[in-house]
Structure formats: structure tokens, C-alpha cells
Amino acid sequence: AVLRSNAQEGDLVCVTGTPGDAVGGRFLLEGRLTSVAGEADYLRGRFQYPQARVAAGRQLRDLATAMLDISDGLDTDVRRLLAASGKGARLNVNDLRCSAALLNACGLRQAQACALLGGEDYELAFTVAPERATEVAAMAEELELPITVLGVVSRDPEVVWMEGDQAYIMPVGRYEHF
């Protein structure tokens, strides 16, 4: 097993897939978003029929230093991983990969908020030593799964999201299971 508690200073903080899609699907079902048919089906499917990243998890067990699945939102779960490791990170919200369906349904700002605060995605957040980044990229290509580097683990236990050179102001609200 890859524990949450082994992230090391200098490791890359990464995430699989496109977080935020599941909560986008939930918002569609609740009538809080509208989208074109094909995109709506995709987003609703990501909420109603989540797919755990089992194959990626198996391959990452030999690469990742720390890992967990995203069930309570990317921000919350990355903070949990780093806290378990006694570390922090400087992360960039502009590096978040949002799906075209989510972007078309709600625009960039809302899509970023869904990715950071939404839950039930079951993507994987993990850390990896920078010298293993090429292996992670090869794995992503083999699995046809986007993997995004969000930032770098720091010794300072604070987790800071940046938007370019500015501190990112986190939207209000956290994911709540219903």
C-alpha cells in the first residue's frame, strides 16, 4: 500500500483525470447547471457511475511516495495527504485540468471551484519524486489517463494555492456527502 504519510520535500503533487466532473454531474441533476446533451450525459455519468482508478493505483504503488483517492474534493484531500506527511505545498490552480464538458457547462472559474471543492471523483492525488516524472508520464500515456502536476511539496506545513503569482482566494464551501 502507498500511505498518505510518506510525501517528501521536493516531491511533485499530482492528480489523475479531471477532478470536478462528478460534482458537475450532481449540479446538473439538481438543476444548478445546464449543459448540452452529450456533455450532460458525460458529467452525470461521472457522478452516478464513478470509476475508481484501480489500474493507475496499481502502477503508482511503485512510483508514488504518498497517495489517496479524491472523495471529498481535491483541496481537502490533498491537504489530508500533506498533513499526514507533516508537509505542505505550493500548488497552482491554473494547472488544474478541467474537462471540456465541465468548462462548457459552467466556465473556468466555476470549473476550478468544482475541481477544488467537489467530491466523489475518485481520482488519485499523489506525490512522486521529480526524477520519476518521466515514468509517471509514460504510465499516463499507456493508460490514456491525464495526469497533472499541481505543484511541489514543501517542508513548511502550509498548503498554498496560487493563481500565477497571486495567492488564490478559495471559494466558500466544501463538498458534503448526501
pLDDT single digits (tens) 94-135: 999 999 999 999 999 999 999 999 989 999 999 999 999 999
pLDDT at site 173: 59
pLDDT at site 66: 98
Low-confidence ranges of the chain (pLDDT < 70): 173-178
Rg of the chain over all Cα atoms, to the nearest angstrom? 15
pLDDT at site 121: 92
**Read out DSSP for 103-168?**
HHHHHHHHHHHHHHH------EEEEE-GGGHHHHHHHHHHHT--EEEEEEEESSS-EEEEETTEE-
pLDDT at site 176: 52
Cα separation, 81 vs 69, in Å, equals 10
pLDDT at site 37: 80
